[in-house]
């Protein structure tokens, strides 16, 4: 059930049986030669909606722009400053708390969001406690990155045999190819697998990884892989969502 | 050309011929008995993409949650505080300015955004001037609400004959029915046309307009209307975008 | 009744019969060759005080500096960033709410304030709702620009016959000449009527309108006009204030 | 020379011979049984203007609402939070720096402002340094409370003989009676001289000083005293302004 | 009793007999040729702990970095912007209020902190009042600079006979020599006593006081002086703490 | 070399040979029945100073209060909101950047800080880039939690054999016993090893872990263990610091 495709009365009805909501969060940033700028938002959105379909959970609007300060040397990359993203999450959650939501399950498409989103959870806990005292609602948050489960790990190893890398990966490119087959890009890449490593700021990132990839061989991506990765992620994360709601 | 479906290299190429970008901004808020919570985001997004197709402009990610403090008494409504929306817009624009964009054309789906977005334009001008002095880039912003043009006015009068109203209108509901035919809701409404008027805070809104509509008869909506409204809006706004870029 | 010229006990007494307050908001910015930098603050202040006299309403302190980012290329212009003006309004209103005021009627002297002030109204609604929940006081705000009424429109057309323009207008200059006859400036202007149009940032404003006027012929101003404009504005806005308080 | 009564061209001319500006800052807060809510703003404003007349200095707009959190238990008191006042001062000064002003002389009417205004001076120094580096303009600030000079001390002792007190003083009430003779209030006070002491928060203030006075006997005020105090303050502070500008 | 060396259960026990807490606040900034960068933090910390020992009060963590914008031209100096220090103090106090603390006694080591800390007290009062209304706890704050008492004044005159100065003073250097005898620095200074005076921004400070001292002769410092100054400060401030708690 | 025990001239000399600085960050929060409220700050501080001694690195002031929102149900716990901690880190780093520092090595004592500190690194990168453009200094940050290295893992397993847990661990308690032998607490604990698991907000934490421990048996702690843990951590982290500086 998508919030954007529901009426307010349908949401009112939903709240009679669940206090849970799924919120996809992505990023708008370079994803190498053949990856889409919207890769992380697309992955988070399609998987979150799949999990919503599988579990009956309400899925809120996708946060399309995340924390991508380190990608800013590549045209098209957009970022919220961490402090802005924290404010946005505070407002999103605060809005939903007004209606009675208490369980916030974020489906994440971008590693760069993790620290800031986790910081935001505590910012929200602190603010809600300040406003409502110790008798406020029992709010719970979790952030699940779609690739952090055994099923995806297994498929990635099977498909890419050590060429997954950590940015602009064949897995995420495959997922977007499955979701948007009309937007598949064919681009020659040299070398096939990019160098791996860490980075500091945006300039350092571009200096080390001039085409935007880190350790990956996204030329191996295919929409067929994407379909299998999608199914695996939805299955794994649907189970995590159910556990999250069931937690005492 | 959608930013989310492009690679960074494609954006780099685009920037060689244009410094313009279209940014859709919507809202996530109640839209009466048969209107979708995502109505304003959907309208802004589909029209912005249509304008992008018509003009070759790059279309950035849709801002799905806007300024809807006054809708918060209806389940499912979400809002950014004005100060948060200003910060978000500052970061969006600031990101794109780093890549060389200078013309920001916002396609708006929600009247409640207008004041805050216009305030944000000046916040951004002030910040850019502080950071870069008088020799910074020549940044220009405009906000176009999709219904504010003669073509839409004419169709609305023809289709709804004074029953358009000002919130949860048959025009916007028609547009979403055209965009998402699988999400058309059939809901009886009493009276057919809601009372018209103003409002103050969220409680006052709900007290005056208990089902969420203001002055409108959204039961008159149809996907066929939506198609004609879509075509009209895209045509009108594409012309506005071209003028905006051509302005000296 | 001016707040600044009252004792706290007089305010306490006032609150027994009214929860309304008038707050003038102006700007400190260039107003062309013969217009005062304080024009907008002066107009808002004198009209607000006139309305206070006519209705018995309490008139709070004038906000002298508003949102004038676009005037900053002219010496003497001052501005608050929109985010600062929002914070200021939040504190002004929040202070008065503590004493029991619930109806806030802003008399505005500057078009550039409108968007930010309206954004601020929602920032305040959101904050008060967060702090006090749904049982907080029923706060209402309105912003009335002194020139936006039929009476002023009629006089302007009669006096200036299409040479009113939109910045540094003969109407506002006349009002200040009536209020501060010792500060009337005699300055030759070429051409008599400035070019009309829009603008983007401060540099663009100065480039298009090098002496600061937009579309206006403020050489036509006179203190006699100012007297008539003052009376008309006070009459019209006093009626609006009474309606605002009477609204259910 | 008042900024509000000058044209931008007059300011431009002024800047050719001086980089100094005087900014009055007051407060809007209870001042006991016969003191005006606007006492501190009135005192700062009239003295600043007198100093401007005496020295030829430009006098900017009065900041009418200051830091008066501790007065909020008395109707009519208004306050900016310290963080808001800092932001306001940053914007005021930042605006004027754009035009070339470098010497900021604040004439203060309210002891409660001192800490926050001094904090703001460093906030501004830090921001200007961050924005402009070590080669930015040589900005200087001072805050002069009108009563902190030997002349006022002497008159106060002569007139009130130990009954000046520290809030709602006969000196400041006299000054406002001189400035606004039509607003002189005659109110019986019991005891003639209020108890002296300190205070913590707003509730503590009201508990200790139920009519708002601290240590003062404002029934001794007179407009004749006000005239002498005005002249003394203007003379003393004009000398301080000249020294401030002359400082190497 | 140091908070850092206590268990939470010990704090719980402490709260049964006292609502008071001592918070040392220092600075990290240049202190002339032989003064430590940590001088102000060290002085505040050791004296606060001495007062804690003398009175049984709980002593919280030292705030090591304060408001030192004006020292930033000397390597090693660190500063919080005033707005950051206000936020920090708001969080410190807000945390302790949650546990039931109501009396906050700051022992200060740095004159530059005074304005900002006093501003913060009102920021906190305003926030607590907004959150809790008039029935919130009765919070009280005081800031005591360790040198502002008669005992220290007397010793300083005896030891340094007019060569105390106002920054990098022999008194504070002596205190750190007593506290950290292994970190005593022997540095020739020319002249023995630095010039006295005021300053504006960081550049102005360094221009006037090239080795960082103002009016002082810190070569006169000794650990023996430090011991006597320490004892005097602890005695004087312990008495002030007891009075603060006893205040009705 | 401790910043607090150095003169500014010594820092100036240090900067001629190194741009690196170590910053310890702790927390002030409950650590179970026998753990000190200052445990995390103490551990970070003593290890950072040991690393400074081993490598010749400059060690800045310890950040004593971190992000501990989830500990606030236990008396004595203090927290900065994540947004405040981000602002503090921005000011700390910004200060040091002014002097030429470019390599920031944070030694962390508290898992709850990790997300917020990492978010802060990007906030700082974004701000520095906005202020200085692409030609600003090459700033690098890393955060090393003292227990995240093989040596500590090995000792923990040897000493505690699965009873380390994740909060109020015997390792950290041992370290503080080594550092502050006079503050060793002897408290009976039942059961010896606390239950393990996760938590949500502060109330949830206390409900699950009523004495504050998670999964740990801190009764096993000893100062002798602390000595070995200290040596191991200093050795491991000194090597990491050297690598960090050597990184190209
Ligand atoms: Ni990605
Ligand atoms: Ni709508
Ligand atoms: Ni005007
Ligand atoms: Ni006063
Ligand atoms: Ni000092
Ligand atoms: Ni710990």
Per-residue pLDDT of B80-106, as tens digits, reads 999 999 999 999 999 999 999 999 999
Ligand sitting nearest the alpha carbon of E170 = 5
* pLDDT tens readout for residues B26-79: 999 999 999 999 999 999 999 999 999 999 999 999 999 999 999 999 999 999
Judge whether A221 lies within some domain: no
Residue of chain F whose alpha carbon sits nearest to that of A112: F119
The residues with which B2 forms a beta bridge, in sequence order, are B59
User: Contacts of residue D131 in chain B, CB cutoff 8 Å?
Assistant: 130-131
Looking at residue B154, what is its pLDDT?
A: 98
Judging contact as 3 or more Cβ pairs under 8 Å, the answer for A and F is yes
Buried b (16+ CB within 10 A) or exposed e, D165-175: bebbbbbbbbb
- How far is C131 from chain A, CA to nearest CA, in Å? 6
Ligand sitting nearest the alpha carbon of A113 = 1
Best to test chain E binding among A122, A126, A130 (most E CBs inside 10 Å)? A130
* Whole-prediction pTM: 0.98
| Cα–Cα dist C200/A52, whole Å | 44
Cα angle, residue E77 at apex, residues E72 and E78 outer, rounded to 5°: 95
Q: What are phi and psi of A229, to 5 degrees?
A: -65, -40
Assigned token pair, D120? 């703001």
* Chains contacting E (3 or more CB pairs within 8 Å): A, C, D, F
E103-108 β-sheet, strand order: E58-59, E20-25, E103-108, E140-145
Judge whether D191 lies within some domain: no
Cβ–Cβ contacts within 10 Å for residue F210, how many? 12
Of C195, C168, C48, C166, which is closest to residue C108 (Cα–Cα)? C48
| Cα–Cα dist E122/F215, whole Å | 42
Instruction: State the distance between the two ends of chain E, measured CA to CA, in whole angstroms.
Output: 24
Does A69 contact F202 at a Cβ distance shorter than 8 Å?
Answer: no
Best to test chain C binding among A84, A93, A98 (most C CBs inside 10 Å)? A98
C-alpha of residue C200 to centroid of ligand 4, in Å: 43
Share of chain A above pLDDT 70, in %: 100
B70 DSSP 8-state letter: G
Instruction: Give the mean model confidence (pLDDT) for residues D161-171.
Output: 98
From the centroid of its chain, how far is CA F140?
Answer: 18
Which residues make Cβ contacts (< 8 Å) with residue F235, sequence separation at least 6? F54, F151
Instruction: Give the mean model confidence (pLDDT) for residues E5-17.
Output: 98
Count of the separate structural domains present in chain C: 1
Cβ–Cβ contacts within 10 Å for residue D136, how many? 15
Could you give the angle at which helices C223-246 and C150-160 cross, rounded to 10 degrees?
A: 170
User: Contacts of residue A130 in chain E, CB cutoff 8 Å?
Assistant: 94, 131
Q: Is the pLDDT reported for residue F116 higher than 90?
A: yes
* Chains contacting C (3 or more CB pairs within 8 Å): A, B, D, E
Looking at residue B77, what is its pLDDT?
A: 98
Q: Is the pLDDT reported for residue E9 higher than 90?
A: yes
The residues with which F105 forms a beta bridge, in sequence order, are F22, F142
Judge whether B39 lies within some domain: yes
Looking at residue C113, what is its pLDDT?
A: 98
Judge whether F222 lies within some domain: no
Of A45, B83, C28, A144, which is closest to residue D3 (Cα–Cα)? C28
The B-side interface with D (CB below 8 A) comprises 130-131
User: Contacts of residue E10 in chain F, CB cutoff 8 Å?
Assistant: 76
C-alpha of residue A56 to centroid of ligand 2, in Å: 26
Cβ–Cβ contacts within 10 Å for residue E85, how many? 27
The A-side interface with F (CB below 8 A) comprises 67, 69-70, 72-73, 79, 81-83, 86, 112, 114-116, 118-120, 122-123, 125-127, 129, 134, 138-141, 200-204
Of C15, C29, C11, C46, which is closest to residue C176 (Cα–Cα)? C46
Instruction: Give the mean model confidence (pLDDT) for residues A84-105.
Output: 98
Coil/strand/helix, residue A83: helix
Assigned token pair, B85? 């929306």
Judging contact as 3 or more Cβ pairs under 8 Å, the answer for B and E is no
Torsion, CA E208, CA E212, CA E217, CA E221, rounded to 10: 170
Give me the sign of the Cα torsion angle C55, C60, C62, C67: negative
Assigned token pair, B180? 């998402």
Which residues make Cβ contacts (< 8 Å) with residue F147, sequence separation at least 6? F153, F156, F169, F171, F172, F233
D31 DSSP 8-state letter: B
Mean pLDDT score across all residues of chain F: 98
What CA–CA distances, in Å, run from E209 to A33, E68, E110? 57, 15, 18
- How far is D161 from chain C, CA to nearest CA, in Å? 25
Give me the sign of the Cα torsion angle A37, A40, A43, A49: negative
> How many CB pairs (< 8 A) connect D and E?
97
| Cα–Cα dist E116/E212, whole Å | 22
- How far is A145 from chain F, CA to nearest CA, in Å? 15
Beta-strand pair C103-108/C140-145: parallel
DSSP secondary structure of F23-58: EEE--B--BTTTB-TTHHHHHHHHHHHHHHHHH--E
What CA–CA distances, in Å, run from A179 to A77, A153, A229, C62? 21, 20, 11, 57
Token match 């690393």: residue?
Answer: F51
C-alpha of residue B74 to centroid of ligand 2, in Å: 14
C174 neighbors C222 (Cβ within 8 angstroms): yes
* Chains contacting D (3 or more CB pairs within 8 Å): B, C, E, F
Instruction: Give the mean model confidence (pLDDT) for residues A43-65.
Output: 98
Looking at residue A199, what is its pLDDT?
A: 97
Best to test chain B binding among F83, F128, F130, F132 (most B CBs inside 10 Å)? F130
* pLDDT tens readout for residues F119-145: 999 999 999 999 999 889 999 999 999
Q: Which of E4, E64, E84 sits opposite F38 (nearest CB)?
A: E4
User: Contacts of residue E69 in chain D, CB cutoff 8 Å?
Assistant: 122, 125-126, 129
Ligand sitting nearest the alpha carbon of B40 = 2
Instruction: State the distance between the two ends of chain C, measured CA to CA, in whole angstroms.
Output: 24
Judge whether D189 lies within some domain: no
Does C94 contact E130 at a Cβ distance shorter than 8 Å?
Answer: yes
Looking at residue C81, what is its pLDDT?
A: 98
C-alpha of residue D134 to centroid of ligand 5, in Å: 24
* Chains contacting B (3 or more CB pairs within 8 Å): A, C, D, F
Assigned token pair, C230? 């003052």
Judge whether A60 lies within some domain: yes
Predicted-assembly ipTM surpassing the 0.90 threshold? yes
Q: Give the H or E element holding residue D221.
A: none
* pLDDT tens readout for residues F166-198: 999 999 999 999 999 999 999 999 999 999 999
Q: Which of B81, B112, B122 sits opposite C82 (nearest CB)?
A: B122
**How would residue B134 be classed by pLDDT, with cut points 50, 70 and 90?**
confident
Share of chain B above pLDDT 70, in %: 100
Host domain of residue F154: 3-162+232-242
Q: What are phi and psi of F135, to 5 degrees?
A: -100, 10
Instruction: State the distance between the two ends of chain F, measured CA to CA, in whole angstroms.
Output: 24
| Cα–Cα dist D196/B165, whole Å | 62
The domain that holds E77 is classified in CATH as 3.40.50.10310
Judge whether A192 lies within some domain: no
* pLDDT tens readout for residues B63-77: 999 999 999 999 999
Best to test chain D binding among C1, C78, C167 (most D CBs inside 10 Å)? C78
Give me the sign of the Cα torsion angle F62, F66, F71, F73: positive
Judge whether D8 lies within some domain: yes
Ligand sitting nearest the alpha carbon of F31 = 6
Instruction: Give the mean model confidence (pLDDT) for residues B4-21.
Output: 98
């Amino acid at each position: 059930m998508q919030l954007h495709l529901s009426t307010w009365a349908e949401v009112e009805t939903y709240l009679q049986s669940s206090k849970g909501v799924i919120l996809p969060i992505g990023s708008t940033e370079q994803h190498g030669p053949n990856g889409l700028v919207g890769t992380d938002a697309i992955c988070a959105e399609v998987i979150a909606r799949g999990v919503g379909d599988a579990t009956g959970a309400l899925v809120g609007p996708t946060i399309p722009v995340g924390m991508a300060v380190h990608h800013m040397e590549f045209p098209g990359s957009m970022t919220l400053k961490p402090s802005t993203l924290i404010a946005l999450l505070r407002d999103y959650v605060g809005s939903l708390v007004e209606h009675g939501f208490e369980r916030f399950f974020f489906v994440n498409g971008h590693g760069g969001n993790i620290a800031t989103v986790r910081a935001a959870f505590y910012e929200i806990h602190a603010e809600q406690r300040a406003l409502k005292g110790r008798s406020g609602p029992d709010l719970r948050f979790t952030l699940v990155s779609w690739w952090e489960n055994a099923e995806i790990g297994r498929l990635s190893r099977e498909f890419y045999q050590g060429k997954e890398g950590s940015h602009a990966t064949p897995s995420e490119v495959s997922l977007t190819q499955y979701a948007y087959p009309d937007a598949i890009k064919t681009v020659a890449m040299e070398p096939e697998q990019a160098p791996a490593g860490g980075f500091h700021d945006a300039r350092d990132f571009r200096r080390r990884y001039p085409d935007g990839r880190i350790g990956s061989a996204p030329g191996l991506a295919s929409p067929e892989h994407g379909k299998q990765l999608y199914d695996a992620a939805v299955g794994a994360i649907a189970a995590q969502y159910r556990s999250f709601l069931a937690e005492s």
